[in-house]
Structure formats: structure tokens, C-alpha cells
Amino acid sequence: MAKNRQRLGYRRIVQLLVYLVIVPTALMLLVGIVLMFLGSTFALLFGALTVSFVLVAVTGIVLVLVFLRREANLSELQADFVSKVSHELRTPLTSIRLFAETMERARGDQATVDQCVGGLNRETERLTQVIERLLDWGRMEAGRKLFELRVERPNNLVARSVEAFAPVRDRHPELDFAFHVDPDLPPVNADVGAIADAIGNLLNNALKYGGTPPVVRLRALRVPQGVAIEVSDNGSGIPRVEHRRIFWKFYRIDDRLSREREGSGLGLAIVKHIVRAHRGRVRVESDAGLGSTFRIILPLARPDAASADALGADAAGAVDAGSVVGVASVASVASVKKASR
């Protein structure tokens, strides 16, 4: 309803500009052109001045329309931001309040208190992640987010991502998760923490919008443009017309998703920003009903001699990239942790 009122107000302003400014300006332009062809010097000068005035007025009108449209978009984004962030913060805060009330009523029942403490830990961690995501996005928008690019092997990026995704898998035992890194992948320039966050966003989205039960796959492979890291799911897919829009900040394909599933609409926007900072690209391959595959493409590194020596020393103590293949099990996670070290 608020969006409709904002759009209606913008249309009314445009209509007023058309009726009160654009139409009289067009008539003045016509008068100026006619005067220029009357033949007298005075008419020629007056006509030229009239045409010049009309051109300046048209430029001003165009600028006013551009600024009005920008303000309307900003106002709509602010309204979306407030509503979605409020929803994101309200959910964990409500859970924290309920756990606290339960603990207060269950004094003396140690089992219930322990369950509530565990729930409080989970919800506070979730609340912290929401706030950190908002702060990260604010730093990215302001241009204050710094990335430390270093020569890294793709198996280290996958290892860090799988390790960070482990707590989420533990909370979803129904998840069918597997990962694979092709052998002998060349190194890339990357900020390990930032790329792991980007991959983590894709993994969380794959879990959130996957099928029943969710099936999520993570893979690193060689492509002509560099090294690609793919995250695929078995969800309902994304219509082709939405492939660009899903990377807009605060954008959700269907507003009902904000009620049915958690999310602020910033995840893919953050992924796009991180990948662009690495001079890479992010692509989506999906059709309705066929699942989705998100692909992060990172350019190859061009290390100097010192970096190459350091990379070789690091690789000597790491598990071969071709062996980093596994499913969501304790043994596979342990092997990936070895690779990341």
C-alpha cells in the first residue's frame, strides 16, 4: 500500500509538470521558431532568445524528473529496508524473549534451562549475523570495505566455506550436501574471508530455497575465464526474467517470501559486490522448476616470485585439491580442514 501511494504521488508530480510546464514550454518553442522565420532582425533575435530559453527550460525539466525519480526510488528502498530489517530483527528478538521467559518459569528444571541457554546462544548468534551483514553492506555502499587479496588455491576457499557452513548443516540433518574440487586448479587472487562469505551466502540460499529434502552441491572447476565456484540446488528455480533483479539490494522475487522465509534481500547483492571487488563475475543458470546454479568466476592469479615460493610451501603441506571430495559427514569436514591449513 505504501509503495502504491509513493508511485501515485510521483505520477501526480509528473502530470503537473506536463500540464503546467511542458505544454507552455512547447508553445513558446513554436512561437520562437515562427519568429525566427518572420524576416526582421528583432523577430530573429527574439525568436533565438525564446528557443534558447526553451532549451534551458527543457534541460531543467529533465533534471527535475531525474532527481524526482531518484528520490522516489530511494524512498521506496528505505521503506523496504525498514520493513525487511524490522522483520529480520524481530524474529530472533522474539525468540530470545520467549527463551528468557521460559527460563524464568522453569527455575529448578535444569534440563529446560539448558535447552533455553542453547536456544539463546543460537538466536544471539543469528542476531549478530544479521547486524554484521547490515554493517558490511553499509561499509560496501560507502566504499570503506577493504579486501586483502592474496594468492590462494581454490581448495582453500572451498575448505573455509565448508567449515563455516558446518554449523548450518548440523541444524539441518535432512540436508544432502556434497562438494568437489577439480584437481590441479591454478591459484587465484582472493580475500579468503570475503570469498568464503560470498560462498556461504550462496550455500544458505541453496538450503533456504532448495527442495524437500534440500540437495546442495558445491564445486570448483576450471573455466576459460579463470576458476569457477558453483553452488547448485534442487529448488523450484528462478524465472529467466528475474536473473538480473535478484542481485538488486533488498529485492525479493515474491514479497510473500519475506513472510515465509527469512532474509533481508541483501545476500546476493553482497555476493555481487564481493565478486566485483575481486574483478570476477557472478552468474546464475536457472529455469522455473529445474533448480538453480550460481557460479562465481575468479580470474587467475599472476603471482610474483615471492608469492609463488610461499604458495609452493603452502601447497606442500596441504591435501591435494583432487582429494577434496566429500559429503556432509564428519570425516569429510575433517579432511577439508586439513586442506585449508
Pure H helices in the chain: 2-17, 23-36, 41-105, 110-142, 154-171, 192-208, 257-260, 267-277, 305-316, 330-340
CATH of 150-340, one of 3.30.470.10, 3.40.50.1980, 3.30.565.10, 3.30.930.10: 3.30.565.10
Pairing of the two strands 292-298 and 325-327: unpaired
State the number of CA atoms in the 13 A half-sphere of 161 facing the CB. Answer: 31
Hey, where are the domains in the chain?
1-145, 150-340
What is the per-residue pLDDT across 145-192, written as a single tens digit (0 to 9) for each?
A: 788 889 999 999 999 999 989 888 888 899 999 999 999 899 999 999
The model's pTM is 0.63
Specify the CATH number of the domain 1-145: 1.10.287.130
pLDDT score recorded for residue 5: 56
User: Distances from the Cα of 271 to the Cαs of 200, 221, 252, 278, 284, in angstroms?
Assistant: 9, 19, 15, 11, 12
pLDDT at 33: 75
Instruction: Using 70 as the pLDDT threshold, list the residues of the chain that sit under it.
Output: 1-11, 13-14, 17-21, 39, 42, 77-78, 80-81, 83-84, 87-88, 252-264, 303-341
CA atoms of 174 and 171, how far apart (whole Å): 9
Q: Following DSSP, what letter does each residue of 28-95 receive, concatenated? A: HHHHHHHHHTS--HHHHHHHHHHHHHHHHHHHHHHHHHHHHHHHHHHHHHHHHHHHHHHHHHHHHHHH
pLDDT digits (tens, 9 = 90+) for 6-21: 555 666 766 776 666 6
Instruction: State residue 323's pLDDT score.
Output: 34
